[in-house]
Amino acid sequence: MKNNNKIKFVLLGLITGLVNGLFGSGGGTILVPGLFFLFGIAEHKAHATAISVILPLALISTIVYMKNGIIVWDITLKVIAGGVIGAFIGAKLLNKIPEKILRKAFAIFMIVAAIRMVI
């Protein structure tokens, strides 16, 4: 791997971590397109890699949020229960979805999320 790519990967990670920590999520919306467009990583691998990267970022953010006492634990635990099941199903489905459909579904998801945040 070129030294230039190492720097790009670290910068992409820095931006992803900043977005994830600041907004409580959203790192994948930076990381997936970054891996795909900047580094040419296949769509399915970009999504799987993003999830693997987000885990440690989320853990660090969670520790900071816990220290500041801003987590609503009763809601958190309920959402985790459904989220674990949904994550399992989503991970199983990822390789079954053609790349073209995955890219379009991800784009639509990001557009809808952006519109909902603005309205």
What is the pLDDT at residue 21? 79
Do 32 and 19 meet the contact criterion of CB atoms below 8 Å apart? no
Per-residue pLDDT of the chain (119 residues; tens, 9 = 90+): 667 889 999 999 999 888 887 887 777 888 999 999 999 999 999 999 998 998 888 888 899 999 999 999 999 999 999 999 999 999 999 989 999 999 999 899 889 988 988 98
What is the pLDDT at residue 68? 96
* CA distances to 48, 64, 90, 102, 118 from 115, in Å: 25, 29, 24, 20, 5
Domain count of the chain? 1
* Residue-range definition of the domain harbouring residue 90: 3-118
Amino acid at the residue 7: I
Q: Which of 20, 18, 42 is nearest to 32 (CA)?
A: 42
The pTM of the full predicted model, rounded to 2 decimals, is: 0.77
What is the pLDDT at residue 54? 87
Q: Pick left, alpha or beta for residue 69 (phi over 0 → left; psi -120 to 50 → alpha; otherwise beta).
A: left
Q: What values do phi and psi take at 24, rounded to 5?
A: 80, -5
The pair of structure tokens assigned to 89 is 């199903």
What is the pLDDT at residue 1? 61
What is the pLDDT at residue 114? 85
